[in-house]
Structure 1
Amino acid sequence: MINRIYALVKKEFRQIRRDARTLYLIFFFPVFLLMLFGYALSLDVKHVKIAVKNNDNSEETRDFIAMLESSSYFNVVGYIRSEHEINSWLDEKKAQCVMVFPANFTSDMRAGKNVQIQFLVDGVDGNTATVIMNYVTSATRFYNSLITQEFLERTGVSSFIPIDPQPLFWYNPDLDTTKFLIPGLFCMILITTGVILTTLSIVREKELGSMEQLRVSPMNSIELILGKTIPYTVVALFVAVLTLFISNIAFGLEIKGNFLTLLFTTIIFLIATLSLGIFISSVSDS
């Protein structure tokens, strides 16, 4: 039994080495999917292009603009001279957001009045527009806290914050979307690769007519399934390790925990995936 399975496994590895399509699926296809979806599906919005219409041109407005520029989320790409230029900046996609300071910004703020800053956001992409508004709202609140603290210090009143929330995000401190997209992409790559490789293996035997020879051979069904599954389990494990390695190099995705546990659960997952490929190939003739 072992000799027959070993002979079939050896034959499968030889066919894998000779088949260009299989080699493409093993080496190029996982890397292509990882790079494509890893970069294209990022939901992080950084380096938002902001144009500024500064009607006040005071030290306070310049401080607010400098605070935005110091963040990795904003890039001030230019200053608008007249109101008529605002539409062109948004229409021509030179800016994703236009920030307009009123002429009396500093005087009203020093007088204790409520001051409004207008943010005009390109709303073509609703998700990006919402994220941008959340960013500028958070930045404005932070600047408000600085101004309030400075005002209290000038009046001789010590600042007091009753509740100071300190959020801490476990497992993904930077809220990087690639940290949860890549693991899902890892499973998708294993499913796609495992199903396609196993399906091509058995269908190839049917197309070449060698499946009939295997059926009349002393090999039983269990030996045939094992002989067809073992090589592609090894290949799929190689694809899994390759994907994890590239994920670490390209996206900084680290494995936290026991690697052997991950490997064991990956094998169980691959057995289910390869079984699906065997089922598909058993009912398909081409």
Structure 2
Amino acid sequence: MAGRSTVSSASPLAKGFWARAAARLGDFFPRLNVRRMAVIVRKELLVLLCNRVSRMLIIVPPLMQIVIFGWAATMEVRNVDVAVLNYDSGRWSRDILHAIEGSPTFRGVGHLQGEGQIRPAIDQQKALFVLVFDEEFSRRIDRGEPAEAQVILDGRRSNAAQIAAYYLERMVAQVAAATPRGEAMQSAAAEVPRLDIRMRCWFNPNLEFQWFFLPNLIGMLSFMLGLVVTGLSVAREREVGTFDQLLVSPAIPTEIALAKLVPGCLIGMIHGTIFLLISVFGFGVPFTGSVVLLYLAMLVFAAAAGGVGLMVSSLSATQQQAFLGAFTVGVPCILISGSVTPVMNMPLFLQHASQLNPLRHFTAITQGVFLKDITVAAAAVSLGKITCISIVTVGVAVWMFRRKA
């Protein structure tokens, strides 16, 4: 009996606690009316697609960017112009020049007549570097002595100049191996065991830059679209004067906020599909993974981008502020996502901060789906992080929208 009295006395307290908790959850997550949300979604899509300027801004720039980036964005060094000042009349300098002229990396070789032409060639960017041979270059090689050639690089294009200098160094090494001294050293080295190193690049055997960049571009453009489309929605309502009318409609603020997210997600998914088709069929990037996994990640990622955009929109009073706020948030997220530069090369605090960036984890999934045939189990960690970020961003965005409403 004592036990029964204890349970019966504690039961009202427990019921009161759970009743209060349910009431609080009901206040924050009220029962949503899908029909009212669909009406708001339809209105948002009509505003975006029926306006000629908005339609052009949504469709044309992203397509232009993926085509332009696919052809123009490359870290490879091609079509390099070279200037040569050759005081040597021997065969070895001519062999090096023939190797340069026959290489697809170098476009043209200009011959200078004196040292006074070196500075104008570099200043006017007529050549990426100038190669200088002295008059004793071939004679030293024939005598078996060390021979040197001077290379003057254009420091304004430091990355391209260093890569081109590396190509030149490889050519000079090949020509040096054909000299009598080089042949003697090779024959002597052949008598002792030597280490044979053979390089193999997994997932991208030819080191095609487009294979690396275009999958990342899907995430970058979809992220910016989600930010801009969702970010401008609430600010446009305030600027036009229809925001108050929307609030007095039968839809509650939570339904309005969630409905504002849907158009951005739909447009992001559509553009992601277009980018996928252009990358695979237009640029020949291999797609080896699961389409279902890619679209699942794309959907969750679009929700996260829309949540961030809705937060920016809730803080903005005009469309100009929302547009600038979207770029203020979007550009740093792209830079620390690993889409452009490796995350491991960044300072440690930025590496930790990038874990909060949904674009970093979506980039890992897109690269895995395109090139590595990544499994669902391998992508589960990145997909879980995007899901957590999406839940937090959408929840905070809805809360901020309700506070502003």
Q: Same fold (TM over 0.5)?
A: yes
How many angstroms does 1:268 deviate by?
Answer: 1.0
Q: 2:205 maps to which residue?
A: 173
Which fold has the larger relative contact order, with Cα–Cα distance below 8 Å and residues 6 or more apart in sequence? Answer: 1
| Greater mean deviation of Cα atoms: 271-280 or 23-32 | 23-32
Q: Is 1:152–1:158's contact at 8 Å kept on the other side of the alignment?
A: no
Q: 1:250 to 1:61 in 2, by over 3 A?
A: farther
Q: Deviations over 1:130-172 (max 9, x none)?
A: 2222222222223223436973399899576712221122233
- The 2-side partners of 1:174 and 1:148 are apart by 34
- The 2-side partners of 1:285 and 1:40 are apart by 37
- Give the secondary structure class of the aligned counterpart of 1:9: helix
Q: 2:143 maps to which residue?
A: 111
- The 1-side partners of 2:256 and 2:304 are apart by 17
- The 2-side partners of 1:42 and 1:78 are apart by 25
Q: Is 1:60–1:106's contact at 8 Å kept on the other side of the alignment?
A: yes
How many angstroms does 1:98 deviate by?
Answer: 1.7
Q: 1:285 maps to which residue?
A: 317
Q: Which residue, out of 74, 88, 92, partners 2:124?
A: 92
Q: Which runs of 5+ in 2 are unaligned?
A: 1-32, 319-405
- The 2-side partners of 1:65 and 1:280 are apart by 58
Do structure 1's residue 72 and structure 2's residue 104 form an aligned pair? yes
Q: Which runs of 5+ in 1 are unaligned?
A: none
Q: Deviations over 1:71-114 (max 9, x none)?
A: 22223322223333333322332222222223233332122111
Q: Which residue, out of 239, 243, 249, partners 2:271?
A: 239
- Give the secondary structure class of the aligned counterpart of 1:84: helix
Identical-residue share of aligned pairs (%): 27
Scaled by the length of structure 2, the TM-score of the pair is 0.62
| Greater mean deviation of Cα atoms: 118-127 or 31-40 | 31-40
Amino acid across the alignment from 2:63:
V
Q: Which residue, out of 23, 27, 35, partners 2:59?
A: 27
Do structure 1's residue 101 and structure 2's residue 101 form an aligned pair? no
Give the helix-richer structure, 1 or 2: 2
Q: 1:122 maps to which residue?
A: 154
- The 1-side partners of 2:192 and 2:162 are apart by 32
| Greater mean deviation of Cα atoms: 174-183 or 19-28 | 174-183
Q: 1:208 maps to which residue?
A: 240
How many angstroms does 1:262 deviate by?
Answer: 1.5
Q: 1:264 maps to which residue?
A: 296
Q: 2:90 maps to which residue?
A: 58
Do structure 1's residue 134 and structure 2's residue 154 form an aligned pair? no
Q: Deviations over 1:19-58 (max 9, x none)?
A: 2343133212213443555566533222221122233333
How many angstroms does 1:67 deviate by?
Answer: 1.6
Q: 1:152 maps to which residue?
A: 184
How many angstroms does 1:270 deviate by?
Answer: 0.7
What is the root-mean-square deviation in Å for CA atoms of aligned residues?
3.0
